[in-house]
Amino acid sequence: MAQYAILIYTHDSAHRPDATPEDTATCDEHADELTHGGSLVMAYALTPRDMATSVRADAITDGPFIDSKEVVAGFYVIEAPDLDAAIAIARTNPAVRDGGGVEIRPVHGGGFVQRADG
């Protein structure tokens, strides 16, 4: 088994600060599917592009780092035996049929940090 990070690219994230459960229903359903499938390791939904701040050596700017039609709307890590299995899982993401897409990146290492104060 290997871990793959999946980055979701859409026009924007549905997870606005004031998002209703209906706004994020598609994403939540998909997260449930993956959880029940047993492949999901961790998942994060991000707030929309307007909330993003980019930092470079010479400037701090409002908005995503790369000015593009799509932004990373969220990311999650799955466990799969090989790339074909990871593709099969990734391709079920709602972003794929809604005009966006996903990027699969093999995970090299990492995880949660154990903190002394819990």
- The CB-of-49 to another protein minimum distance in angstroms stands at 28
Contact call for residues 98 and 12 (beta carbons, < 8 A): no
Dump strand ranges (E) for the chain: 2-10, 40-45, 53-55, 60-62, 71-80, 101-106
Q: Which residue lies nearer to another protein by CB, 108 or 115?
A: 108
Tell me the two tokens of residue 67: 């000015």
- The CB-of-80 to another protein minimum distance in angstroms stands at 8
Q: Which residue lies nearer to another protein by CB, 37 or 106?
A: 106
Contact call for residues 77 and 3 (beta carbons, < 8 A): yes
Q: Which residues would be at the binding site for another protein (CB under 8 A)?
A: 2, 81-84, 86-87, 104, 106
CA angle at 89 for the pair 87 and 113, rounded to the nearest 5° = 100
Q: Which residue lies nearer to another protein by CB, 69 or 105?
A: 105
- The CB-of-45 to another protein minimum distance in angstroms stands at 25
- The CB-of-69 to another protein minimum distance in angstroms stands at 18
